[in-house]
Amino acid sequence: MVELDLNKENEEDFSDPPDFVDNVTDEDLVPDVLYKRPTIEEFEDNCVFIAGIPIVGADRIARLQNVLRKVLEKLEPGVKLYIPPSPEGGSLGVLLTEWPDARSAAFAVKSLEGYAFDKNHTFTARFFSDMKKLEEPAEDWQTPQKNEYTDVGDLWWWLQNERCRDQFAISHDKLGVPTVGVFTNMKGNDPELAGDPEKAERANWTETVFTWSPHGSYLSTIHKRGIILWGGKDYARAHRFAHDNVQYIDFSPCETFLITYAAPEETNSWGAYEKDSLRVWDVRTGELKKAYSTFELTGRTQLPTWPFFKWSCDEKYFACLKAPEKDKLERERKIDGISIFESETFDLVDKRAVAVENIKQFEWSPTAPILAYYSECTDAVPAEFGLLQVPSMQRLRSARVHNVADAQMFWQKSGKRLAFYTMRYKKKEFRETGEIKYVGGCQYHVDIFEIDKKDVSLMNLPLSEPFIHFDWDPEGDKFCVLVGNNAKATPQVYKIEANSHAPKLVSKLDAGVHFNEVQFAPKGGWLAVLAKVSSGGNVYFIDTSLAEAKRTNVIEHPLFNKGYWDPTGRYFATCSTIGGRSGADLGYRIFTFQGRELCRKNLDRLAQFKWRPRPPVKLSEQKQREIKKNLKKTAAKFIKQDDDEKCRASQEVVEKRRKIMAAFDIIRNRNREVLAETREQRIALRRGVDTEAALDEDEFVDEEITIALSTSKTPAPLSEEDERD
């Protein structure tokens, strides 16, 4: 007891002095705690605003209230309602209701929206929180004036090229100035600027990066004050979207919407966050359709990934991962849902997110409103892969797998199949550093969902080596899996046969070093296997249209870090850009689909290389069959054009040489005349010696000189005396 008292005496006293005034408020000390204190707004989700009820006088209010109560109590007996009175004591045509919880209120909004009360009155139901978001117009608000239409010309002019040439854009430094240029790919010749040189190539055209729209109609550039879209043959300014300090842009698949993002400005208040850092624009009109708060969507002040919104193929829906919630101990839980919005109203489908526990990623089908998702596994719950039909939210098929350490998904461009790669472990241990160690090795699998089959069939492909990369033939029934490691990577081509329970291995190609990616051509058939950011920089070109895949060529581009097929699949470009491996020669090279090099350009500080996309082909099947039937005739026509162009190029070279030779002859003849006129003066200066006179051959003396071409030492024959000695 004495020891305890002595310890207390020795303790340091942290008490404030009597005259101390505490000027630190709770808002400055614990803003994160005060921000989460209960507010009246938390109960607003239980209140529903209903418009469209009959307007009656004061004498009929009680009867109207009884009728409305009977209608609402069919949904929830505990509902409370209030009819705001008019100055005369009648109704105003609106009704305020309070429901026991948010779930019943959401059900009421869904049920009462569009409800026909009688033949003259239809309800409109909204959450009270949504009604509060309506803002009063500013005092200086004026009716927007019509903007003059800017005609930039034909947005698809470049598709009318007689030789069907593709275009690409590059960003690099030219004479020390950042420059963006649009070029036409000329087979067998250097690329040419696509249009007027002063308009197709401009200095400081963008302040950061450029982007093509999905159909190639616009070239978008980023500036401090917003985004500009350029189009037409002269690359005129088509639209401007004001968004200060914008950082990222993205388009919807059909170019209807443009999404921009600018990082929110820093604020001193914990709860004060931006309201419109993420904006959705109408590309055709330039109208701001919707603005979102990054904090409300993600629970963070910064976006976790870009593009943030993922769009369905028909642009009717776009989605993002739901913001993570926190438990009672303020620990952040894993994301447990997907927020799917309708592009017509920009509201959540069914007014709520789709619940998917521990969801990690999701992707839309390229051809249908089907959403594929992957949920991480926990110690108690396996990982789940599934297909979700939108907007019915019906799960078409799902599969669960235990002990999944890593997973990726790959949609086929045709939307017929979906592949999931999984790395499965036997046991895992946690090290002191927090890293995870997998004990007992890992297994690698590829699971394939066949969407076009009844009940969505599922097949499994176990891999004998570690997985590296995967890609589908866009329209066919083949795919390529790259397996192995940096020292030895092997591309394997598989085929899915009808009525088969597993893919069939068609070809196992030669292994290479540092291969890390496979890319099928956009139209299928040809495959490129890339060794990006490697000293060798090899690329395999493989023909998979044969019964057995065949490698046609191997090219080298040391230290290249990007590779792209052109939209038609005729050409392949390798690029070494800023941000790649140090020591690389920046520039690009263009090859045919068979691997023959056509062009090589070294550029200072090459930052971007992007092929100009093409819009989807909207031809009937009959027209496509007709084109394929006449393909040989068309090919012969193109071959003749190529030959004529080569001849034309040769003739141009010959003609250029003739002009140069003619100009040289003129200069030479002029100098010969001057030389002849000054000949006597030169002889006089040389004291009568004519050094330019022709030589007399009779004065020459012939002299022969023998030169030994080779020598060797041989012993001389001995005489008889020498032999006796």
Q: How confident is the model at residue 721, as a pLDDT?
A: 62
Higher pLDDT, 27 or 197: 197
- Report pLDDT digits (tens) over 295-337: 888 877 778 889 999 999 999 999 999 888 765 445 556 778 8
- Report pLDDT digits (tens) over 477-505: 999 999 999 889 999 999 998 888 889 99
Identify residue 297 by its one-letter amino acid code.
L
Mean pLDDT value of segment 365-373 = 94
Check: CB of residue 24 under 8 Å from CB of residue 75: no
Check: CB of residue 609 under 8 Å from CB of residue 170: yes
What is the C-alpha separation between 502 and 9, in angstroms, rounded?
80
Lowest mean pLDDT among 63-77, 127-141, 651-665, 695-709: 695-709
Q: How confident is the model at residue 247, as a pLDDT?
A: 93
Query: Which residues, 6 or more positions from 611, have their beta carbon under 8 angstroms from its beta carbon?
Result: 166, 167, 168, 564, 565, 566, 567, 573
- Report pLDDT digits (tens) over 410-427: 999 999 999 999 999 988
Q: How confident is the model at residue 16 (pLDDT cuts 50, 70, 90)?
A: confident
- Report pLDDT digits (tens) over 75-133: 888 899 999 998 888 899 999 999 888 888 888 888 898 888 888 899 999 888 777 77
Q: How confident is the model at residue 532, as a pLDDT?
A: 92
Q: How confident is the model at residue 248, as a pLDDT?
A: 94
What is the C-alpha separation between 316 and 369, in angstroms, rounded?
8
- Quote the tokens at residue 258: 């443009």
Strand boundaries in 74-204, DSSP class E: 80-82, 94-98, 116-118, 121-122, 124-127, 167-174, 177-184, 192-193, 201-203
Q: How confident is the model at residue 187, as a pLDDT?
A: 80
Residue 11 clears pLDDT 70, i.e. is over it: no
Mean pLDDT value of segment 212-223 = 95
Q: How confident is the model at residue 17, as a pLDDT?
A: 78
Higher pLDDT, 155 or 41: 155
Query: What would you report as the CA-atom Rg of the chain, rounded to the nearest whole angstrom?
Result: 39
Higher pLDDT, 429 or 30: 429
Q: How confident is the model at residue 647, as a pLDDT?
A: 72
Residue 246 clears pLDDT 90, i.e. is over it: yes
Lowest mean pLDDT among 239-248, 249-258, 638-647: 638-647
What is the C-alpha separation between 169 and 564, in angstroms, rounded?
13
- CA-nearest of 27, 179, 173, 56 to 117 is 56
Q: How confident is the model at residue 40, as a pLDDT?
A: 66
Q: How confident is the model at residue 273, as a pLDDT?
A: 58
Lowest mean pLDDT among 145-159, 362-376, 448-462, 537-551: 145-159
What is the C-alpha separation between 590 and 168, in angstroms, rounded?
11
Q: How confident is the model at residue 722, as a pLDDT?
A: 62
Beta partners for residue 226, in sequence order: 223, 242
Q: How confident is the model at residue 6, as a pLDDT?
A: 47
Higher pLDDT, 694 or 337: 337
Task: Let me know the angle formed at the C-alpha of 236 by 192 and 281, rounded to the nearest 5 degrees.
Answer: 120
Q: How confident is the model at residue 271 (pLDDT cuts 50, 70, 90)?
A: very low
Q: How confident is the model at residue 258 (pLDDT cuts 50, 70, 90)?
A: very high
427-450 burial, b at 16+ Cβ within 10 Å, e below that, comes to: eeeeeeeeeeeeeeebebbbbbbb
Query: Which residues, 6 or more positions from 591, have their beta carbon under 8 angstroms from its beta carbon?
Result: 539, 541, 555, 571, 572, 573, 574, 597, 598
Q: How confident is the model at residue 3, as a pLDDT?
A: 46
156-195 burial, b at 16+ Cβ within 10 Å, e below that, comes to: eebeeeeeebbbbbbbbbeeeebbbbbbbbeeeeebeebb
**What are φ and ψ of residue 212, in 5° steps?**
-85, 145
In the chain, the percentage of residues whose pLDDT exceeds 90 is 47
Count of beta carbons in the 10 Å neighbourhood of residue 718 = 10
- CA-nearest of 521, 567, 516, 523 to 539 is 516
Segments making up each domain of the chain, as ranges: 40-132
Whole-number mean pLDDT of the chain?
86
Q: How confident is the model at residue 508, as a pLDDT?
A: 92
**Superfamily, domain 40-132:** RRM (RNA recognition motif) domain (3.30.70.330)
